[in-house]
Amino acid sequence: MPPRFNPFDDAFRRDPYPVYRTLRTEEPVHRSFLDAWVVTRHADVKFVLKDRRFGVDPIPDRIADRHRFVQSRGGNLEALLTASRRFFFFLDPPTHTRLRGLVKTVFSAGAVERMVSIFTAYTDRLLDDLSGRDGFDLIEDYAGPLPVFVIASMLGVEDFDQRTLKGWSLDLSRILDPLVSLEEYQQMDEIVRGFEACFREMFAARRARPADDIISVLLANARGHDDLQERDLAAICTLLFVTGEETTVNLIGNGMLSLQRHPDAWARMRDEPDLASTGVDELLRFESPVQLTTRVAHEDLDLRGVRVRAGDKIVVGIGAANRDPDVFERPDELRLDRHPNPHVAFGDGIHYCLGALLAKAQGVVAIPRLLRRFPTLRVQTDNLQWRRNIVVRGLTHLKAAV
Ligand code: HEM
């Protein structure tokens, strides 16, 4: 019998929802061949994300194993290992609380509000560049450039080549995947070194002359944390690229695909500006850019009658929870005015997405503006190429005809 839950399977990648439905109803705490439990019900997903008896999956420890192996062959993954130990989504309290605290204010509602006019103008420039063309790649030419521009602007590194930063973020986002080859880790190590060099340059510039950007805030907040060195601060900046880029691309890409498959919703999103906010939440629920995350049990406990042991790994099914009929009426329907919409696309608990407001604001600007600029736009709905990443759900390309 093939495994019930196989995130590497092409059919699953194309359409994971039938598998999620079966798991939710027949085996809500499923023992996977990945040597982990898989939870798919909304209540269980929230429980695992919020209960402090679960901690993060210690991915840096896995990198440390690979580092030792590479060292035995004369190389090393030192930069990647050091940075990953500062990526606070891999950390439990108290270090998590301390490092998140250094940057948590920079994504407040006020800070996001100040960014909106800047990225709206940038979106319009992208749309101007696309005008007059018969078609384009929605991922490459529209969804892709926006988040990298936004994060680079907020960090104050907009002078660095954005294509390079984008490529680095994409490759480094594979760090979340459970199966990563040695070559990929080596490539990530190089990328971390590249980011570090870029941020060190900025640290020197901002120390000399602070500006209104994240790097200046981070440097100010890090005063008094004498154990934190420049490479630790560079790791935090790198983390913002890794978490904020690919996810937001996929909010726009997956969102446009969902709208194309629901023409009524497409027309409403274009014509009813008041629907943009609930509409983007619904797109996040319907095709969640982050499909799953992982946790590890810190102690023995019962999960829906199943005995989970300390040290067991739990795959937390965000995409599955967002289609749970116990919480969402007719979950497989796209309803842009769904309210309330308690989706978990941004997670929950202490690791709740730091950039949630920023990501949503980009969707609210980018999606309706695109629909209005090109009233006859159509995006492809077949022969889709999904990325081979199992955590992040998104398309490599999405052809659009004007
Ligand atoms: C639509 C876009 C986005 C989605 C769907 C998304 C989703 C998520 C999810 C599900 C988590 C929790 C992971 C877990 O609990 O294991 C998370 C964490 C995080 N996100 Fe986002 N994210 C998005 C955009 C952004 C942006 C734009 C930024 C910032 C530039 C960002 C920064 C972060 C950070 C720093 C964390 C780690 C928080 C922590 O561990 O305390 N995200 N995101």
State the SS3 of 112-123: HHHHHHHHHHHH
CA nearest ligand 1 atom 9, residue: 346
What per-residue confidence (pLDDT) applies to 401? 97
| Number of residues that this document lists for the chain | 402
What per-residue confidence (pLDDT) applies to 247? 96
CA nearest ligand 1 atom 39, residue: 351
SS3 303: strand
Residue 293: which of 175, 169, 176 has the closest Cα?
A: 176
H or E element, residue 50 = helix 42-50
H helix and E strand count, the chain: 18, 10
- Give the nearest ligand 1 atom to 241 CA: 30
Banded model confidence at residue 179, pLDDT cuts 50, 70, 90: confident
What per-residue confidence (pLDDT) applies to 1? 76
Banded model confidence at residue 164, pLDDT cuts 50, 70, 90: very high
SS3 66: helix
What per-residue confidence (pLDDT) applies to 159? 85
What per-residue confidence (pLDDT) applies to 7? 93
Q: For residue range 97-137, what is the model confidence (pLDDT) as tens digits?
A: 999 999 999 999 999 999 999 999 999 999 999 999 999 99
Pocket of ligand 1 (CB under 6 A): 88-89, 100, 151, 239-240, 243-244, 247-248, 251, 289-290, 293, 318, 345-347, 351, 353-355, 358-359
Give the dihedral of Cα atoms 304, 306, 312, 316; nearest 10 deg. -30
Q: For residue range 257-305, what is the model confidence (pLDDT) as tens digits?
A: 999 999 999 999 999 999 999 999 999 999 999 999 999 999 999 999 9
- Structure-token match 């990953």, residue found: 84
What per-residue confidence (pLDDT) applies to 2? 76
> Mean pLDDT throughout 306-326?
98
Statement: residue 194 has pLDDT above 80 = yes
Give distance in angstroms: CA of 181 to centre of ligand 1. Answer: 24
Q: For residue range 236-255, what is the model confidence (pLDDT) as tens digits?
A: 999 999 999 999 999 999 99
Do 189 and 78 form a contact (C-beta atoms < 8 A)? yes
What values do phi and psi take at 315, rounded to 5? -90, 120
What per-residue confidence (pLDDT) applies to 327? 98
What per-residue confidence (pLDDT) applies to 177? 83
CA distance 117 to 138: 22
CA nearest ligand 1 atom 1, residue: 248
Statement: residue 399 has pLDDT above 90 = yes
Say what percent of the chain tops pLDDT 70: 100
H or E element, residue 12 = helix 10-14
> Mean pLDDT throughout 363-386?
97
Banded model confidence at residue 20, pLDDT cuts 50, 70, 90: very high
Give distance in angstroms: CA of 242 to centre of ligand 1. Answer: 9
Question: Can you spell out the DSSP letters for 230-285?
Answer: HHHHHHHHHHHHHHHSHHHHHHHHHHHHHHHT-HHHHHHHHH-GGGHHHHHHHHHH
Give distance in angstroms: CA of 279 to centre of ligand 1. Answer: 19
Give distance in angstroms: CA of 247 to centre of ligand 1. Answer: 8
What per-residue confidence (pLDDT) applies to 232? 95
Give distance in angstroms: CA of 85 to centre of ligand 1. Answer: 17
Q: For residue range 45-74, what is the model confidence (pLDDT) as tens digits?
A: 999 999 999 999 999 999 999 999 999 989
**Arithmetic mean of pLDDT over the chain:** 96
Task: Give me the residues paired with residue 292 across strands.
Answer: 317
What values do phi and psi take at 50, rounded to 5? -100, -25
Banded model confidence at residue 6, pLDDT cuts 50, 70, 90: very high
CA dist 32 → 5, 35, 399 (Å): 7, 6, 35
What per-residue confidence (pLDDT) applies to 3? 82
Distance of CA 26 to the CA centre of its chain: 29
